[in-house]
Homo-oligomer: A and B are copies of this chain.
Amino acid sequence: MATQVDKVLSWLAQNEGAGVDRLLEWLRIASISTDAKYAGDCKRAAEWAAGHMRQSGLEVEVLPTGPAEKPGHPVVLGHAPGSAAYRGPHVLFYGHYDVQPVDPVELWDSPPFEPVIREAAAGGVPGRRVVGRGAVDDKGQVMTFLEALRGYKEVTGAVAGGVKMTVLLEGEEESGSVHLDDFIRANKGRLQACDVCLISDTGMLGRGKPAITYGVRGLAYTQITLHGPDQDLHSGLWGGRVYNPILALTHILAQMHDGENRVTIPGFYDGVPGVDARERRAWEGLNMSAAESLAGIGLPAGADWGEKGYSAVEREWARPTAEINGIWGGYTGAGAKTVIPSHASAKVSFRLVGDQQPGRVAGLFFEWLKARTPAGFRWELTDLHGGYPATLPIDSVHMEAAGRALKRASGVDAAMIKSGGSIPVAGTLKRELGMSTIFMGFGLDDDRVHSPNEKFEIECFRLGCRSHALFIDELLALQQVP
């Protein structure tokens, strides 16, 4: 006899096309959170998700964030009360409905907010994929969870299949979650009842290789501008007489790494643990190929680059970095302009691990810059945002339930991996509510997250829907454990 979950899985299979169509509808809303002119789209994307969740029977509120005079993007908060018989954990599902900016827009093969379903290119990996901004990060992944909820409601009539659940979708993940900490503190009353957080915003080890991510890096993101002369200058009349702010910025940023590609900022490595020997062995066992990854972005194996003394996977999962995410200054239009500009700017960010603290790292960087200020120049330094790193225990009852769900959904054991990306909410939930997080994500390395032609493969969408349905089944089973 088919159990309830089998019926749900069957419903998901039969309604996959409709589910993908719903995703496309959501993707058409340009919810770019970092740019204020898309605030209306962010609100629409929030309302759209709220509507979907209500159809699955949740009680949903769309709540404002930030001060009334300068509001942030809203949080969607949904609640499934759980059946009277439910004794399992109260799960907090976290996701985000906001997306990254789309530039360079000219590199997209189709408009970023006119999502399409595309067949794989000839010779490429087979399988259809949704292409558009947010396809995988994070609307597509959130959708796999929302469709599982929809399936349970349709098949069983019970909201979330009877599991007690809170769903929190924020709209500022791609712009630093600036109001999320305050929101969580302000709503501690409702949230502290949750036992564990579930997030689908990470990747698998590869196609057909599901994974649970048990650690993410933190982030400190800054913008810096070096101001020199009080006006732009003619490079003929002034070249050789004044320090060019672009050249000065270049000289300074080039000192940020040493010959071993280690970050030179004093104190930067405080709180960075060595790579655990057990983890190192486990990661070696994953047989990840740096050369294969590099080939996927058009580079030869020799282009492998990073902190000396660590493998590529160690550098991504266990080591901090400093990156220049953007740089600009002087004339950048067509042709020639012989200018020495009055200032030059960069966006510089740091990925953090262990006990590194975002605010402290930004502060150390700023002190380091100030110690290098050219005579008569001045800095304009902005700490745009930060997030704490998080490493979660891999042997919890919830993590094990997620592992079983992935195994049932895919037929293979889930790999235990980390991610170099940052999902700051995990650190916040740990600090504010003592809550652990399970990262169960369905992205692939080549999904072009944050890049033109971002995609989510239908195969991954399917696995996500099935895994979430089966995780709910595992939660329902947990209540029978004394």
Contact = CB atoms under 8 A, between A and B. Distances in A.
Given A235-B351, A307-B240, A230 B298 contact: yes
B323 A419 contact: no
Say how many copies of this protein the assembly contains.
2
A1 B341 CA distance: 54
A294 to B, nearest CB: 7
B233 A297 contact: yes
A192 interface: no
A421 interface: yes
Contacts of A203: 237
Contact of A303 (B257, B297, B375): B375
B325 A236 contact: no
Contacts of A346: 246
A220 to B, nearest CB: 11
Interface stretch (A2-10, A64-72, A331-339, A469-477): A331-339
Contact of A239 (B233, B321, B453): B321
A156 interface: no
A451 interface: yes
Interface in A343-382: 344-347, 349, 351, 374-377
A297 B242 contact: yes
Contact of A326 (B256, B257, B321, B337): B337
Interface residues of A, number: 101
Interface string A80-114: 00000000000000000000110110010000000
Interface stretch (A17-25, A52-60, A143-151, A247-255): A247-255
Interface stretch (A117-125, A311-319, A397-405, A425-433): A311-319
Interface in A266-324: 290, 293-294, 297-300, 302-307, 312, 315-316, 319, 321, 323-324
A104 to B, nearest CB: 7
A251 B250 CA distance: 7
Nearest to A453: B231
A249 B305 CA distance: 15
Contacts of A374: 303, 305
A244 interface: yes
Contacts of A217: 236
Contacts of A204: none
A459 interface: no
Interface string A171-187: 00011100000000000
Interface string A433-457: 0000000000001001111110000
B323 A247 contact: yes
B103 A333 contact: yes
A100, A305, A375, A453: residue with the most chain B Cβ atoms closer than 10 Å: A305
Please give me the 4 A-B residue pairs with the lowest Cβ-Cβ distance, nearest first.
A230-B298, A236-B421, A34-B335, A303-B376
9 contacts: A34-B336, A231-B451, A234-B451, A237-B420, A240-B321, A242-B294, A243-B305, A325-B337, A325-B339
Given A235-B450, A239-B420, A328-B328, 13 more contacts: A175-B335, A176-B335, A236-B421, A237-B419, A238-B297, A240-B316, A242-B299, A247-B324, A305-B374, A324-B330, A336-B347, A337-B347, A337-B450
Interface of A: 34-36, 100-101, 103-104, 107, 174-176, 203, 216-217, 219, 221, 228-244, 246-247, 250-251, 253-254, 256-257, 290, 293-294, 297-300, 302-307, 312, 315-316, 319, 321, 323-341, 344-347, 349, 351, 374-377, 384-385, 419-422, 445, 448-453
